[in-house]
Amino acid sequence: MFYSTEQISQIDRQKFAYLLLKEDQHALYIYINRPETKNAFNEILINELAYALSYAHYNNNVWAIVLGAMGDVWCAGADMRTFQGQKDTTSQSTIPPPSGEIIIGDLFTMVHKPCIARVHAPVFAGGFLFICGCHFVVASGNVFFSLPEVKRGIFPFQVMASLLEILPSRNALDLCLLGKTIDAKEAHRLGIVTHLVSQESNLDDTINILLNKLREHSPSAVRLGLKAFDEMRGIKKEDQHKFLFKMLMEVVKTEDAREGITAFKEKRAPVWKGK
């Protein structure tokens, strides 16, 4: 992660300029809050997001993450002023600099906690990096998704890589090369959206159903399962089963595994601790 356990322990003392955070019932809710720029992200916003995700990663009491946004655009992509080298000097954010360069497309793969995107409004350009990084995308039926970069003389390089984790290559290239805009129904058919609801008022109901399902399961098993899923991509095929056996032995040693087995024998619901 880009922040240490010591740094994230100071989260209650930090001032976030562009994020709203709330922790409730083992879920960390993160809302992008830069509506005056259509939630376009700059260096400060990305640092704040990396800090919040680092907090979720290290905190055993956080079992899942919900990523939402304020305003009438979910995310417009990168702030063009950032491309032009302009620094944000007025935000008053107190989040310290990260330990290294943050690559947005890789940011969510380090968290090892289930991430749910709450999409109530249109997503443009680099905003795809956020929704592609989440494991679940719950979207309202009236939203749309657009990759207009080629119309501006730019190409969505990182978005292309993220889409290729979800879509067949021709579907991903179709979106990138033609600068397409698709509605929520088409995004759901393609697999970009995992849960489609009829209207914005139904978003939270669907997200709560997902969160309640996740709360029924061992957070340690889920965390280590996601760690294995993410790290397996960099392991040779012939070495994957050896690696996964090692991960299984790690899960077996957790308090949650002992609790799960004991609860099964005693015919009761387990009490998870995330350890």
Over the chain (275 residues), what is each successive 10-residue block's mean pLDDT?
94 97 97 97 96 96 98 95 80 94 91 98 97 97 96 95 96 97 97 95 95 96 95 92 94 94 94 93
Domain ranges across the chain: 5-215, 219-266
Beta strands in 25-114 (DSSP E): 27-32, 64-69
Q: Cα dist. 60→4, 41, 69, 136 in Å? A: 15, 28, 25, 21
Q: The domain 5-215 belongs to what CATH superfamily?
A: 2-enoyl-CoA Hydratase; Chain A, domain 1 (3.90.226.10)
pLDDT of residue 256: 95
- So what's the pLDDT on residue 233? 87
For residues 15 and 114, give the distance between their C-alpha atoms in angstroms, rounded to a whole number: 25
Cβ contact 53:107 at 8 Å: yes
